Each structure stands twice: as structure tokens, then as C-alpha cells.
């Protein structure tokens, strides 16, 4: 990890208030975070804990009411609209829960769109886009429209698109929530592979326990604050094999996971009942 200790995202006392009725709802109550280059981070927390808000801040999609978010040591609140667009175009890649491919464009056109925004010529964009689709295993389906692709395939296209301009950060908002377990697992593997090979920082907002297994660190958000941050070395959870269900994962955490891992899984199941209400 030598030479990779630079912070790529840093949050200092970040607060966010939303007007609600007469008063304000404070979604974030002072968050401090440091995310290093090349890390694979999972943000976890129950619904309404503020993790989406935090996620939007880190991604430069929203500005804090108080405190500062630095992306590559730049305070994003000081950037104007053009500079933010530049940042989103080149520094950050986004992966969405609902894939969000542009429905009227083919897989290849979706992948090349950010490159066109970045000013690449059509030929360069096409050859790079074909290469990225090959990387995610969809080289043959570049002419397909999103409606002609399965959920997992659409998410692969979205991943290829997020890598279009060689970003330093990938933000994934519950990337596996709309996928079945096996497909979700494939997507996580793919993200991990790209994280390792390209050294890109991946920050993912997730409910998916198999995501924990590949994360370098897990940031637990609760009630607008960082509840705790766990490194993977601290927890040793096994969420079962591909196709095994979540409860099986809890069982194996019980049997051969450490205390911290069990703790993590307890939270997860607790969360599941929370969100089920």
C-alpha cells in the first residue's frame, strides 16, 4: 500500500439540513471521514440513517450545509457549475441502483457518452468503449438497447460507463439491490476486480452482506453519524457460497466468524427487520 496513502475523499464535520415543515431535518449531524486512494469502501446503515445523503455529498451531487467535503483535496463547495460538471465527468464514475442507462441509446453509445462529453473523438470513444464492454464481458452485445439486456447485463454496461473517463472514484449506489443474488455476486466480483486492477477507489452504498466480504473498510452510519468504521481484517464473515441465501450467511458467521463479524451480521439482520417495517 506504499504510495497509496493519499486521501481521495475527506469529510470534515459535515452536516446537512433539509427544510421540513416549519423547521429542519438534520440528516447528517457531523460526519468525519477519510477515504484513501484505491480503497473499497462500503457504507452501511438502516434506511433513513443519512447514508444516501452522505453518499451524495461524497459524490459532489449535493453540498453540505456545514462542514467541508474534499475530493482530491479540493473543497467541492468552492466549485462552480462548470467545475462540478468537469469533476463528475472525469474524476467520478457513478453506478446506480436502477442502472440508469439512457434508454434510447445502445450499450456502446451509453458507454461512450461520457467520453464524448470529455471531448474524445468518435473513433477514440468507440474503440475505448468496445474495450470497456469487453472488460465487463459484454463485448458481443454492444449494439443492444438497454431494454434488450437483462438487469445484470445492464448493470455491467453501467459499470463500463462509469469507467469511461478513467475516474479516480467510483460511486456505486446499492449496485446489487435490483439484482438476484448470483448476478449481484458477479457484479461485486467485477467491481472488486476493477478496483484491484485499475487502483480506482470504490465507494458503495449497500445493504448487501456479500459486499462486506470484498470491502476494505465498512462505514456504519446511524442516525446521521458515523457509528463505527470496521476494517475487513477486524471482521471475518463468510456469507456463504454463490446462491446461498442471506440467512445461511448469518449461520456461517455464527459458526466460524469472529465476534466482530457476528456483530456485523446481527446489525444486518436487525436492519432487515427495521426496513421491513
Partner 1 sequence: MDEQITHEEAIRRLRTDMKTSSVATPFATALKIAFQSLRIRFWRSIITIAGIFFAIAFLVSVLNSAVVELAVNPDEGSQVSGTGIRFILTLLAAEPRQAWLVTMSLIVCVIGIANAMLMSVTERYKEIGTMKCLGALDIFVIELFLLESGFQGLVGSFTGALIGAALVLVSALVKHGFAVMGILPWSQMVINILLATVIGLLLTLLGASFPAYRASQMPPADAMRTEV
139 close to 131: Cβ distance less than 8 angstroms: no
Largest CA distance in the chain: 55
Beta strand spans in 65-207 (E): 66-71, 74-75, 92-95, 169-173, 201-205
Site string for partner 1, 233-252 (x = CB under 8 A): --------------------
- 44-83 residues in contact with partner 1 (CB under 8 A) are 52, 55-56, 59, 61-62, 70, 72-75, 78, 81-83
**Given 13, 85, 247, 259, the residue binding partner 1 (CB under 8 A):** 85
Q: How far apart are CA 73 and CA 271, in angstroms?
A: 34
Q: What is the CA radius of gyration of the chain?
A: 19
| Among 17, 30, 67, 117, interactor with partner 1 by CB under 8 A | 117
Helices (H), 41-80: 51-58
Instruction: Say how many residues touch partner 1, by CB under 8 A.
Output: 45
Cα 92 to Cα 167: distance, rounded to the nearest angstrom: 5
CB of 16 to partner 1, least distance (A): 12
Contacts of partner 1 in 152-171 (CB under 8 A): 161, 164-165
Shortest Cβ 61–partner 1 spacing (Å): 4
Residue-wise DSSP of 130-144: HHHHHHTT-GGGTT-
Q: Which one, 23 or 82, has the nearer CB to partner 1?
A: 82
| Rounded-to-integer distance, Cα 157 and Cα 126, Å | 14
Of these, 20, 32, 34, 48, which contacts partner 1 (CB under 8 A)? 34
Task: Assess 198 for contact with partner 1 (CB under 8 A).
Answer: no
With CB under 8 A as the contact rule, the residue among 26, 66, 118, 263 that binds partner 1 is 118
Q: Which of 4, 47, 98, 143 binds partner 1 (CB under 8 A)?
A: 98
Q: Report the alpha-carbon distance of residue 252 to residue 246 in Å, rounded.
A: 10
Give the whole-angstrom CA distance, residue 158 versus residue 93: 10
Do residues 268 and 239 touch, judged by C-beta distance below 8 A?
Answer: no
Provide, rounded to whole angstroms, the least separation between the CB of residue 139 and partner 1: 22
Contact range with partner 1 by CB under 8 A, out of 23-31, 103-111, 149-157, 237-245: 103-111
Comparing CB distances to partner 1, the nearer of 101 and 264 is 101
For residue 247, what are the contacts with CB-CB under 8 A and spacing of at least 6?
none
Q: Which residues bind partner 1 (CB under 8 A)?
A: 5-7, 10, 34, 52, 55-56, 59, 61-62, 70, 72-75, 78, 81-83, 85-90, 94, 96-98, 100, 102-105, 113-114, 116-119, 161, 164-165, 173
Amino acid at each position: 500500500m506504499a504510495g497509496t496513502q493519499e486521501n481521495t475523499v475527506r469529510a470534515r464535520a459535515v452536516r446537512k439540513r433539509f427544510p421540513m415543515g416549519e423547521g429542519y431535518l438534520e440528516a447528517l449531524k457531523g460526519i468525519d471521514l477519510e477515504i484513501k486512494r484505491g480503497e473499497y469502501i462500503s457504507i452501511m446503515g438502516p434506511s433513513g440513517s443519512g447514508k444516501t445523503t452522505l453518499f451524495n455529498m461524497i459524490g459532489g451531487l449535493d453540498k453540505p450545509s456545514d462542514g467541508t467535503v474534499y475530493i482530491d483535496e479540493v473543497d467541492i463547495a468552492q466549485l462552480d457549475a462548470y467545475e462540478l460538471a468537469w469533476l463528475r465527468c472525469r474524476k467520478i464514475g457513478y453506478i446506480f441502483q436502477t442502472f440508469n442507462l439512457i434508454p434510447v441509446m445502445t450499450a456502446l453509445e451509453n458507454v461512450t457518452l461520457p467520453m464524448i462529453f470529455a471531448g474524445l473523438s468518435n473513433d477514440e470513444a468507440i474503440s475505448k468503449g468496445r474495450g470497456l464492454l469487453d472488460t465487463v464481458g459484454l463485448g458481443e452485445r454492444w449494439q443492444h438497447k438497454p431494454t434488450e439486456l437483462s438487469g445484470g447485463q445492464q448493470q455491467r454496461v453501467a459499470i463500463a460507463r462509469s469507467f469511461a473517463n478513467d475516474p479516480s472514484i467510483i460511486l456505486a449506489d446499492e449496485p446489487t439491490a435490483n439484482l438476484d443474488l448470483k448476478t449481484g455476486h458477479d457484479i461485486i466480483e467485477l467491481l472488486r476486480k476493477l478496483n484491484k486492477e485499475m487502483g480506482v477507489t470504490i465507494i458503495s452504498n449497500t445493504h448487501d452482506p456479500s459486499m462486506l466480504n470484498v470491502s476494505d473498510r465498512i462505514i456504519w452510519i446511524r442516525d446521521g453519524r458515523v457509528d463505527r468504521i470496521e476494517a475487513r481484517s477486524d471482521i471475518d464473515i463468510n456469507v456463504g457460497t454463490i446462491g446461498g441465501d442471506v440467512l445461511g450467511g448469518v449461520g456461517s458467521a455464527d459458526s466460524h466468524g469472529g465476534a466482530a463479524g457476528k456483530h456485523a451480521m446481527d446489525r444486518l439482520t436487525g436492519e432487515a427487520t427495521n426496513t421491513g417495517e
